[in-house]
């Protein structure tokens, strides 16, 4: 129920469309009611089955008055125009009624479309906004495929649920209420009998669909795992084929897909059961009403045959709304299961928070200081990735971080722009704890060039200008020249307007890395983080990239994570990390002279 109420809040932005939808649905039901009610009295009068009513009946609020007044109007028309002419006019009038009924029905659906699409657009926007603001620690615990499934398949299920809910709560209740009022005016006791039968039917249908929400949740979870396997396969297809693991991956995919097939089949069977079950139960109710009402007519207990016939005609109009109501309830259950998965992401805790009175910071003045910094991921255990780190980085200096894989180098630099928060200790910039600064201002101080070139399926220009939408072509080209990228860009089919493919797949490794350097140049950050930026390149590409990095480092405070000696031998200070602790520090020559861990790393060429 809570998730349903949250979805309803999204409807508040579409009040005008909701009102229009209600009005036109109401008109649809009214015209439907009149078109049905007029046929039988007219045919009875036309064919002489009942006497003409030539005097208007005395006013009273009852179904009999409305029926008698309708007979009076029809009788006057037949007597005035003649039987054949009245029949022609009546046929035209009925056709007009049905035309207006269907016109209003179309307008109701027309105003429903913006509600449906608008709510889904708003929901998708909120979900994506939350995805880009969640900390990196969240994604280390979640499958990428499952997150994509929530943004795509779960949102689509909510869309179907919104449609069903709109129809159920607007059109069908109007149908049911108006026709029930008409039935009540015809015969109260018979209508009470109908209500009891409908209540019993509703309870039976609700019990059948009770487990649908749980099964839908399971299906969406399995679908997320399926997408994860597809993503991992496409990302690592070279390895899959190199290790002849096609059969293994296919079998893994097949197992998950078969399980999805089983659960989806159960859900579909349960959903499709609603229509025939509702129809069967409705016919059972019709038979009971027919027996009960027929017995009242036969025994002469205050129910005339004509009234009973009209009652049954109107009651038949209740079956389609009831049937739609049942089918929609299944869709709503399935949609609410998806809504729950979506709201789990929207409600996920953002642990990297900004204080309400956070301080601005536009420039880096003096130093970065780490005091007694420790960090643990808290995913599986409390093992410290960093332990009691004390470090000061002066403005304009170059500090290199070295050590074996898992020593904590990348984790340490990730703490500076607050991708994660420290578990113990504090990090200060210019003497103030970084938690006191505005998050956006803090991250504007840093430019990052990582080992993996993170590019987007867009043009060269847009990748370089990423995050700087107002950058001019001249500024982008200047950044590309500094990064040694301009020459190869101009050789591309459309120059700076060339699409580079998924993750820059149309470019070589060195070209991709130079684009990321150009992006950092355009940002012009005072603090630069180089995370093994040349470790995956060949010698020729490394030379071009290294030259671009050297230009980028000029006048900037730089933190370098590297395995290659050529990258760090001129650093002002080299920090050696081992198992999350600083074990050695000094310059290149001094550390070599010590003959410690750094010397062993050099000798092993582990850079």
Q: What is the pLDDT of residues 581-604, one digit of tens each?
A: 989 888 888 888 888 888 888 777
Give mean pLDDT, residues 283-307.
75
- CA quadruple 291, 294, 299, 304: dihedral positive or negative? positive
The answer as to whether 24 is a domain residue is yes
pLDDT > 60? residue 209: no
More confident residue, 258 or 70: 258
Across the range 169-174, mean pLDDT stands at 71
**What pLDDT, on the 0 to 100 scale, is given for residue 390?**
92
CA–CA gap between residue 110 and residue 196 (Å, rounded): 35
Residues 170, 107: Cα–Cα separation, whole Å: 14
Answer whether residue 200 shows pLDDT above 70. Answer: yes
Domain count, the chain: 1
Model confidence at 607: pLDDT above 50 = no
Residue 435, pLDDT score: 92
Answer whether residue 35 shows pLDDT above 80: no
40 has a pLDDT exceeding 70? no
**Stretch 413-441: mean pLDDT, rounded?**
90
Of 127-136, 471-480, 559-568, the least confident: 559-568
Name the one residue in this structure whose structure tokens are 């709109």. 166
Q: In percent, how much of the chain has pLDDT > 90?
A: 5
- Give residue 433's pLDDT band: very low, low, confident or very high (50, 70, 90): very high
CATH number at residue 221: 1.20.1560.10
Per-residue tokens: 65: 């008055």
For the record, the structure tokens of 301 come out as: 């207990």
Paired tokens of 317: 């109009």
User: What is the model's pLDDT at position 381?
Assistant: 58
User: d(Cα 536, Cα 512) in Å, to the nearest integer?
Assistant: 12
pLDDT above 90 (res 428):
yes
Instruction: Identify the residue with better confidence: 448 or 542.
Output: 448
The rounded Cα 35 to chain-centroid distance in angstroms is 43
| Structural domain contains residue 363 | no
494 within some domain: no
- pLDDT, greater one: 410 or 274: 410
Residue pointed to by tokens 């307007």: 497
Q: Which domain holds residue 290?
A: 2-346
Segment 218-239 shows an average pLDDT of: 75
Backbone angles phi, psi at 271, to 5 degrees: -70, -45
548-574 per-residue burial string, b: 16 or more CB within 10 A, e: under 16: bbeebeeebbbbbbbbbeebbbebebb
**Residue 294 pLDDT > 50:** yes
Tell me how far apart the alpha carbons of residues 485 and 517 are, in angstroms, rounded to a whole number: 9
Name beta bridge partners: 576: 402, 584
Asked whether the predicted pLDDT for residue 86 surpasses 60, the reply is yes
The pLDDT of 452-461, averaged and rounded, is: 84
Q: Are 334 and 216 in contact (CB under 8 A)?
A: yes
Task: Report percent pLDDT > 70 for the chain.
Answer: 81
For 495-510, write each residue's pLDDT tens digit. 888 888 877 778 887 8
Q: Does residue 371 lie in a domain region? A: no
In a domain, 98, yes or no: yes
Helices (H), 388-508: 409-415, 439-444, 460-464, 473-482, 486-490
Give the span between the Cα atoms of 58 and 492, in whole angstroms: 89
Task: Give the span between the Cα atoms of 571 and 528, in whole angstroms.
Answer: 13
Average pLDDT of span 466-480: 86
pLDDT at 479: 86
pLDDT at 211 over 70: no
**pLDDT range class, residue 371, cuts 50, 70, 90:** very high
Q: Any idea which residue has 């809570």 for tokens?
A: 2
Look at strands 557-561 and 398-402 and give their pairing: parallel
Q: Is 428 within a domain?
A: no
Closest CA to 322 of 284, 289, 282: 282
43 or 426: which carries more pLDDT confidence? 426
Flag whether pLDDT at 422 surpasses 70: yes
**Does residue 606 register a pLDDT over 50?**
no
Q: For position 214, what pLDDT does the model report?
A: 62
103-143: pLDDT as tens digits = 988 898 888 888 888 888 888 888 888 888 887 777 777 77
pLDDT band at 271 (very low <50, low <70, confident <90, very high): low
Contact 540, 559 (CB under 8 A): no
Q: Is residue 319 part of a domain?
A: yes
Name the phi and psi angles at 561, rounded to 5: -105, 120
Cα–Cα distance between 169 and 29 in angstroms, integer?
A: 14
Is 561 a domain residue?
A: no
The burial class, CB within 10 Å (0-12 / 13-18 / 19+), for 474 is exposed
pLDDT of residue 318: 73
Mean pLDDT, rounded, of the chain = 79
pLDDT of the residue at 210? 58
Cβ neighbourhood burial of 298 (10 Å; 0-12, 13-18, 19+): exposed
């Amino acid at each position: 129920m809570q998730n349903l109420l949250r979805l309803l809040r999204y409807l508040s932005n579409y009040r005008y469309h909701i009102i229009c939808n209600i009005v036109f649905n109401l008109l649809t039901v009214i015209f439907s009611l009149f078109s049905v009610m007029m046929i039988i009295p007219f045919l009875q009068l036309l064919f002489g089955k009942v006497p003409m009513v030539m005097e208007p009946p005395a006013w009273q609020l009852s179904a009999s008055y409305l029926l008698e007044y309708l007979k009076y109007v029809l009788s006057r028309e037949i007597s005035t125009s003649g039987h054949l002419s009245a029949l022609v006019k009546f046929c035209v009038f009925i056709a007009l009624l049905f035309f207006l009924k269907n016109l209003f029905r179309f307008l109701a659906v027309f105003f429903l479309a913006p509600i449906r699409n608008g709510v889904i657009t708003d929901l998708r926007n909120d979900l994506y906004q939350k995805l880009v603001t969640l900390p990196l620690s969240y994604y280390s615990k979640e499958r990428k495929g499952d997150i994509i499934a929530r943004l795509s398949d779960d949102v689509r299920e909510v869309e179907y649920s919104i449609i069903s809910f709109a129809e159920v709560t607007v059109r069908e209740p109007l149908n049911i209420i108006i026709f029930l009022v008409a039935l009540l005016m015809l015969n109260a006791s018979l209508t009470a009998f109908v209500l009891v039968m409908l209540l019993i039917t509703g309870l039976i249908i609700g019990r059948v669909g009770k487990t649908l929400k749980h099964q839908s949740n399971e299906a969406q979870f399995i679908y997320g795992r399926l997408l994860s396997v597809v993503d991992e396969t496409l990302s690592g297809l070279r390895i899959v084929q190199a290790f002849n693991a096609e059969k293994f991956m296919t079998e893994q995919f097949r197992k998950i897909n078969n399980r999805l097939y089983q659960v989806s089949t159960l859900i579909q069977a349960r959903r499709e059961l609603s229509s025939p079950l509702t129809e069967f139960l409705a016919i059972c109710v019709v038979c009971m009403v027919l027996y009960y009402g027929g017995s009242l007519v036969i025994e002469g207990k205050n129910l005339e045959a004509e009234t009973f016939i009209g009652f049954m005609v109107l009651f038949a109009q209740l079956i389609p709304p009831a049937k739609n109501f049942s089918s929609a309830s299944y869709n709503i259950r399935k949609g609410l299961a998806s809504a729950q998965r979506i709201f789990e992401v929207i409600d996920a805790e953002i642990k990297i928070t900004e204080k309400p009175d956070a301080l601005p910071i536009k420039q880096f003045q003096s130093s970065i200081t780490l005091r007694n910094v420790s960090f643990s991921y808290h995913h599986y255990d409390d093992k410290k990735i960093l332990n009691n780190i004390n470090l000061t980085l002066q403005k304009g200096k170059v500090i290199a971080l070295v050590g074996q894989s898992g020593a904590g180098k990348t984790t340490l630099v990730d703490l500076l722009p607050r991708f994660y928060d420290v578990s113990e200790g504090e990090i200060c910039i210019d003497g103030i704890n970084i938690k006191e600064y505005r998050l956006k201002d803090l991250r504007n101080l840093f430019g990052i060039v990582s080992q993996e070139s993170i590019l987007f399926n867009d043009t060269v220009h847009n990748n370089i200008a990423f995050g700087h939408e107002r950058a001019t072509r001249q500024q982008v080209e200047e950044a590309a020249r500094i990064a040694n990228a301009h020459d190869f860009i101009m050789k591309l089919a459309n120059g700076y307007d060339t699409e580079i493919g998924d993750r820059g797949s149309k470019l070589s490794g060195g070209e991709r890395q130079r684009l990321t350097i150009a992006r950092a140049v355009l940002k012009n950050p005072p603090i630069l983080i180089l995370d093994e930026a040349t470790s995956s390149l060949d010698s020729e590409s490394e030379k071009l990239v290294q030259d671009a990095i050297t230009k980028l480092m000029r006048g900037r405070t730089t933190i370098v994570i590297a395995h290659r000696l050529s990258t760090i031998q001129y650093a002002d200070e080299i920090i050696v990390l081992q198992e999350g602790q600083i074990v050695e520090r000094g310059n290149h020559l001094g550390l070599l002279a010590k003959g410690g861990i750094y010397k062993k790393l050099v000798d092993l060429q582990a850079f």
